[in-house]
Amino acid sequence: MVSATIRAMRENPTRQEIVRRVQHGVSPRYQGDYTRPSNRPVNIPNSANCSLWITNLPPSLTHRELLWSIRDIDRVWQTVVNAPAGGHLTSAAKITFFTPAGAQALLRRCNGLGLPGLTVGDHHGQVGYNRNRVAQPVAPANHTRVLVIKGPTALVNVEFLTAYFCSRFYYEIDEVVPWVMGKEAIERDTVLRGQGVSAWFEADPCDVRR
């Protein structure tokens, strides 16, 4: 989970931080982890772009609200919610799907003739391709953002898993504890596996094929 300190640094970057963002090829307003190659823009056409940018969203938007609004589209690879900043009164969000077809499907749903955009609460988000284009992620067909974890209750509970995952990577919570890197962390941890903790992927509620 992104801490309040890190979130504040990303939302209010120093001059040096803005320079670093530009040097990595992302927008000065980008709030993700630009040091990861998968988060940097690539030179591809929008027909191969898996990422969308949505504006005019509720100012208090949560990841759960955003994901609920895009059910039955496609597997979601990543979501980023940007709170109002720089004089804006609404939130914005990035949604990246596992495939370009997912991005195209959401565009059709929101931008067809007579459609209001992406409805979230009483706001109608404006949906378009993210200018920081993202190619289709390299991932097995069964990988999703939804992770089921099984094991002793002393280890498999929100408090323990939150502390465990926070020491290994950044994440955001939708409704449960659902991250790809969470599975990888458990698989590498021989102590947890030795105590009967296991993890597997389940269908993404946003996927029309679930």
- Closest alpha carbon to 72 in 49, 106, 46, 38: 106
- Rounded to two decimals, the pTM is 0.71
* The two structure tokens encoding residue 144: 């999703």
Query: How many Å apart are CA 164 and CA 148, to the nearest integer?
Result: 15
pLDDT in tens, 69-89: 999 899 999 898 989 988 889
Residue 176: pLDDT band by 50, 70, 90 thresholds? very low
pLDDT averaged over the chain? 81
Sheet architecture: strand order including 123-129: 76-82, 91-97, 51-57, 123-129, 118-120
Q: Please tell me the least confidently modeled range out of 79-83, 118-122, 167-171, 202-206.
A: 167-171
- Give me the pLDDT at residue 91, please: 95
Show the domains of the chain with their CATH numbers: 1-39 (no CATH), 41-137 (3.30.70.330), 147-201 (no CATH)
Calculate ∠ Cα 27-29-32, nearest 5°. 85
Q: Is the pLDDT of residue 38 over 70?
A: no
Arithmetic mean of pLDDT, 93-101 = 96
